[in-house]
Amino acid sequence: MSNIRGLSFYKRKKKISKAHVREVFSWIFGMLIAAFMATVLNIFLGTMTSVVGVSMEPTLYNGQDVFINTFVYLITSPQRGDVVVFLPNGNVNSHYYVKRVVAVPGDKIVIQDGILYVNDEKSPWVMEKLVDAGIAANEFVLENGEVFCIGDNTDNSEDSRSANIGPVEEKDILGKVWFRAPCDEAGMGFVK
């Protein structure tokens, strides 16, 4: 008898192998990890804004995009040296201000002979002589929940020295600038 091979309408049952199950679970696990990472990044990188003006040069430049850590001040308070983003006096109709924290609650502030003193010591964050002392011409102490902010380009900065801004309340701070996007004047990188 000859072997005749022809069409067969017999269907073999497909078996689910362990390899297939492992691959499906690896895809599900990968998607869960991606969703978790996206959530975490959204919390830490959740906000981006552009610097307006030259008040933070040479650290940040006009029009440069910065990423804001909106989570950090939920668990800690601003520290001296932090570059923060805030709405002056909580005014939602204003643009975001980007400035450096030079004093924190309880610190004594005064500007004498163009030098910023914090707790009777020269501030390491302001190296230039300040032309305008503003409200800091008279010594005062920051109250609980207040920080004193100044732009790195001190002579071209509207900051806490201005009577219309004054000490910044922590509740008005959106977050800490932690990363800057590249621009023509400066590269990208972490903000110091």
Sorted by sequence, the CB contacts under 8 Å of residue 122 that are 6+ apart come out as: 115, 116
- Distance of alpha carbon 22 from alpha carbon 108, whole angstroms: 63
Residue 99's identity, in one-letter code, is K
Catalytic site residue from 13, 17, 50, 99: 99
Which amino acid is it at 76? T
* Catalytic residue (choose from 18, 55, 108, 160): 55
- In single-letter form, the type of residue at position 154 comes to T
Catalytic residue status for 55: yes
Helix/strand/coil for 154: helix
Torsion of CA 99, 101, 103, 104, to 10 degrees: 120
Q: Which of 61, 63, 76, 144 is nearest to 104 (CA)?
A: 144
Which of the 8 DSSP states describes residue 170? G
26 catalytic, yes or no? Answer: no
If phi > 0 it is left, if psi is from -120 to 50 it is alpha, else beta; for residue 33 that is: alpha
Residue entry with tokens 């800091």? 136
Catalytic residues: 55, 99
